[in-house]
Amino acid sequence: MAIIKPFQGLRYNQDIIADMSSVVTPPYDVISPEGQERYYQIHSNNIIRLDFGKDFSGDTEKTNKYTRAAEFLSNWRKQGILRQEDAPAIYIYDQEFLSGNRWFRRRGFIALVKLEPFDKGYIYPHEQTLPGPKADRLKLTQSCQANLSSIFALFPDGNNEVDSYLSAMAVTKPEIDFTDDTGVKNKLWVIKEKQTIDRLVTLMKEKPLFIADGHHRYETSLAYKEQMRKENGRLSGDLSLDYVMMVCVSMNNPGLQILPAHRLIRNIKDYNFDRILKSLKESFTVELIGKGCRVEEFMSGLNNEAENHTFVMYVGQEDAYYKLLLSNEKLLDAVFANDHPEWRHLDAGILHSAIIHKILGIHSTDVAIKEYVKYVKEETEAVSLVKSGQYQLAFFLRPTRIEQVREIAMARKVMPPKSTYFYPKLITGIVINSLT
C-alpha cells in the first residue's frame, strides 16, 4: 500500500537563521495579499519568496516569480542558508496548539511517499481540484525542481502502533523548536537510524493514505512526474520525481482537529430576502435565533444541536441569525438524483446543492469563484464581512467528521470545495525536498 522512504531534506541552517519563526509561513493558499507582503518584510530569507512570490509589472516568460524562486533557492543553498541533510532521514513533526480552552498535540512524520494516480492504488483524495492552482504549482515545481511544502495525509492506525512508535522516538531534544505567528508550537526531530526508519516503513506498508490538505500539489506532482518521464524517455528505475513529500498523521491522533469553513455569499441574482426565506421554509424549519447576537451564542447553539443537517444563516441587512433545520428529506431525493448522490449525508453537500445552487441560483461550477462564494474559518470575520455589505448572506456549518472524509474518499468520490479545514495548518519551510 503506502510506500514511504527517507530523504535528505533541505533545512534552514540555524547557525545563520536563529529564529525559525521569521522564515516560515502557513500554506500559500491561506495567505492574503497583506500577509504575503508582511512575510516579505519579516526576513529576506523567508520561504514566501520561494513558495508564494510576488508578481511584478515587468515580468516576462523568462523573468517572473517562478524564475525568481529558483534563483533564490539556488543562492540560498550556495550561501549555506539552506543546508541538505547529510544522510536520508524521516522527520517527526509535532504541532502543539490551543483549541477552545484545551491544548492539543498533533504528531506525525515527514517522509517521501510514492506517487500513484487517484483512480487506482491506495492514496485517496476527498476534494475537488481546480485548473488554476494546479497550473501555478506546476510552473513552480518545474522552475524550482523541489517540493517546497508538504502534502498533509492521514492513515488508519486503530491500535495506535505508529503513534506509539513515533512517541518512543521523540524523547530527545528536537532539532527545531519554535512558536509560529499563530501561537502554534512547532517541533521537529530528525531520525536517521536505518533500523528505526525500516521499522516505520514496515508499519506503514499495509496502510492507505487519505489526503487531508494539498490535493492540488499532489496532482501537480503527478503531472510533473508524467511530464519528465515523457520528455526523458531514457529515464528508468525509481527516481526522486516518483515521490512527493508528505506529513502523515494517524486518523486516531487526539490532536487531529477539523474545523468548518463557513460560506459567505454575494452577487445573488435578483436578491430578495423574503423570497429566499419563503423558499427555505419549503424544505427547512426556519427559526429566528435573534438579532445582534454574539458569535459565541449562535455557534454554541449550532455545535450543541443534536439534529442532523442544521445550519445558521446570518442576514446582514437585518443583523439577524436564523437556524435552518432540514425538515423535508424528500428534497434530497430530487436534489441528488443525478448529481453527487454521495453528498446527501454531508452538511456541506446539502448546503451547496439544496441551498446555494437550488435556492440562491449559484451553480456548482461557480462556488469556487470568489465573486460568488468566500470560505472563512473565523465566525467574527464572516459576520463582519456580511454586516459591512461586502456579502449578502453567511452560512455557518458544523465540522465534517473524519469518518465522513474516509467514507467519501474510499468510494473515490469528492466532497464540495472546502468541506474540511484541518487545524492547524502545516508550516511551509520547515523541510524542503529537492527533486534533483
pLDDT per position as a tens digit, 274-322: 999 999 999 999 999 988 888 877 887 787 766 678 999 999 988 999 9
- What is the separation, in whole angstroms, between the first and last Cα of the chain? 26
Per-domain boundaries in the chain = 4-257+423-434, 261-398
Residue 293: the pLDDT is 82
- Whose grid coordinates read 532539532? 175
Q: Is the confidence at residue 176, as pLDDT, over 80? A: yes
Q: Is the confidence at residue 234, as pLDDT, over 70? A: no
Percentage of residues in the chain with pLDDT exceeding 70? 97
For the segment 159-188, the average pLDDT, to the nearest whole number, is 96
- Whose grid coordinates read 508578481? 55
Topology adopted by domain 261-398 = 3.30.1760
Strand partners, 300: none
Q: What is the DSSP letter of 64?
A: S
Q: What is the pTM of this model?
A: 0.92
- Side chain identity at residue 312, one-letter code: V
Strand partners, 155: 250
Alpha helices (runs of H) in 282-361, residue ranges in sequence order: 295-303, 330-335, 347-350
Residue 338: the pLDDT is 75
